[in-house]
Amino acid sequence: MISNNPNYTKKALTLIAAFALLRLIISFAGQLGNDESYYWLYSQHIKSNYFDHPPMIALWIRASTLNLWLQDFPGFIRLASVCSGATASWFMYRCVALISTERAGIIAVCLYNASFYAGAIAGIYAFPDAPQMVFWTASLWCVAAIFRNEKNRVNWLLFGICTGLCIMSKVHGIFLWIGMGCYILFYKRSWLTNPYLYAALLISLIICSPILLWNIHYNFLTGRFNEARINTTNEHLNWADFFNEAWGQLSMNNAVNVIITVIALANWKKKSLQQYDALKLFNCAGLLHAGILLAISLHRQTLSHWSGPAYVTLIPAASIYLDTINITVANRIARLSMTLYVLVIVISLWFTYFFPGNIGAHSKRFMGFGDKSLDLYGWKNAGEKFDSIYDVQIANHSIASNTPMVCNSWWGAHIEYYYCRPLDIQMIGLGDIMNLHEYAWMNTLRKDSVNMQKAFCIVPSYGPYNPRTAYKDYYNIIDSITTISVIRGDKPAANFYVYKLSGWKGTMPLEK
């Protein structure tokens, strides 16, 4: 794998292509998850910004589905993410090769693709992290180029473009500029007189200005939503969430990668890694990012994949460190990291599609509650079973042809993709905007094309809520119609409860 063969570029491309092929197969074989369906909803209406995230993922999906022509196939919705993983791997290779050696670049490709964040969250699934990682790693490449020739204005301007596009993918991209600021403050204050630095910053601000303008128009709605997620005013320290975040950082970023990164940083001076100024900047961004998340987790629950970009930023240090030790050891560690990745992916896929029943609750009402694998299983088949139920309702004149489906949160996008889209049923959100998210805007586009006098509602047993309580302000009568069962491995795994709502009260929630 890693040898003294000088043809490293060919090896890097071969390795990247092999991982891309594996992820391509996975992307076309599986069903969309809940979050992916929600980002698919983004793609139905292109905007300058969305409630939760900037617009890049919507453009990604539009591109890979040929402007939605192929949106019926989950694999095409994910195709841009698979391509993003390959592209980001190449940028990582070029970045590390430019800083150190091409052999270190090969190691970086191995570690990057073995990361569960980079190699799955941002490399398979249709998440905002996919385009983010393309521009994040491109930004790291630009930084490496800047340190090669800091007087070259092209490198600076490209950094401004890439960081701006990174932020337009996911606002975490701001940590690239925070890292740059910290590096300048602690190591390179002379850059404060460099006009190209300010030109790059201006370009970045211009590119991501739609996020700010959208939030100004909507009274910083995204900011208020995210503030609640990371609020640290709670005086009591929650050590359980802290250890969950620490474990999440270790597992999401591949334990082998994280351990090697820690060892590399511990041997910073011994292995003369301090000679690489680019690594100092990367450390500023990565360590600060990971550290802030650990601090937040003492007060609020965090999500494990939030730390992904931090550890991607630290991969160059780990790769260059491995390049300085025995090549046999480096080979073994790279293989161990990739083997762990492949093993976990294969086991996860088997579990998702073949495990008998579920590992969650087994009572009928809450069947599957606690089994996260069900997010990727059974939806297509259940949606097809709903077809006949809907046809009977139409044949009996119980509903109009433009009767909608309703949901009370953004999770309804999963139901919309597998239940509503094939039958051309519109989904309407009924509830609070902080739960509905983008449906508050979709309501405005759809309300005139639906007959709200009656509606359907579908509740998964592993994401249960009481529709009679949720929709009491909107409908007088809420009747249970039937239950759609999901079988996995010849055993019951989950249920979908189908309700029909009638007696519309004529009150639509706040529209945007």
**Residue 439 pLDDT:** 95
In tens, the pLDDT along 372-410 reads: 999 999 999 999 999 999 988 988 888 888 999 999 999
Q: Which of 172, 182, 126 is nearest to 312 (CA)?
A: 172
- How far apart are the C-alpha atoms of 172 and 165, rounded to whole Å? 11
| Residue 479 φ then ψ, to 5° | -110, 140
Mean pLDDT along residues 146-161: 95
Q: What percent of the chain has pLDDT over 90?
A: 85
In tens, the pLDDT along 324-358 reads: 988 899 999 999 999 999 999 999 999 999 999 99
**Residue 230 pLDDT:** 55
Residue 487 bridge partners (DSSP): 492
- How far apart are the C-alpha atoms of 135 and 123, rounded to whole Å? 13
Q: For residue 274, what are the CA distances in angstroms to 111, 430, 480? A: 21, 56, 66
Two structure tokens written together for 82: 């698979």
Supply the DSSP symbol for 416: I
In tens, the pLDDT along 255-287 reads: 999 999 999 999 988 777 878 999 999 999 999
Residue 307 makes CB contacts below 8 A (sequence gap 6+) with 117, 245, 248, 249, 252, 253, 289, 290, 293
**Residue 494 pLDDT:** 96
- How far apart are the C-alpha atoms of 120 and 127, rounded to whole Å? 10
Local structure of 476: helix, strand or coil? strand
64: left (phi over 0), alpha (psi -120 to 50) or beta: alpha
415 CB-contact burial (10 Å; exposed 0-12 / middle 13-18 / buried 19+):
buried
**Residue 396 pLDDT:** 85
Name the band, by pLDDT with cuts 50, 70 and 90, for residue 237.
Answer: confident
Local structure of 396: helix, strand or coil? coil
Two structure tokens written together for 101: 């050696």
Q: Which pairing describes strands 427-429 and 475-488: parallel, antiparallel, or unpaired?
A: unpaired
Hey, CA dihedral for 417, 419, 425, 430, is it positive or negative?
negative
Count of all residues that appear for the chain in the document:
512
Residue type, 165: L
Two structure tokens written together for 283: 């450390």
The answer to whether 500 and 512 have CB atoms below 8 angstroms apart is no
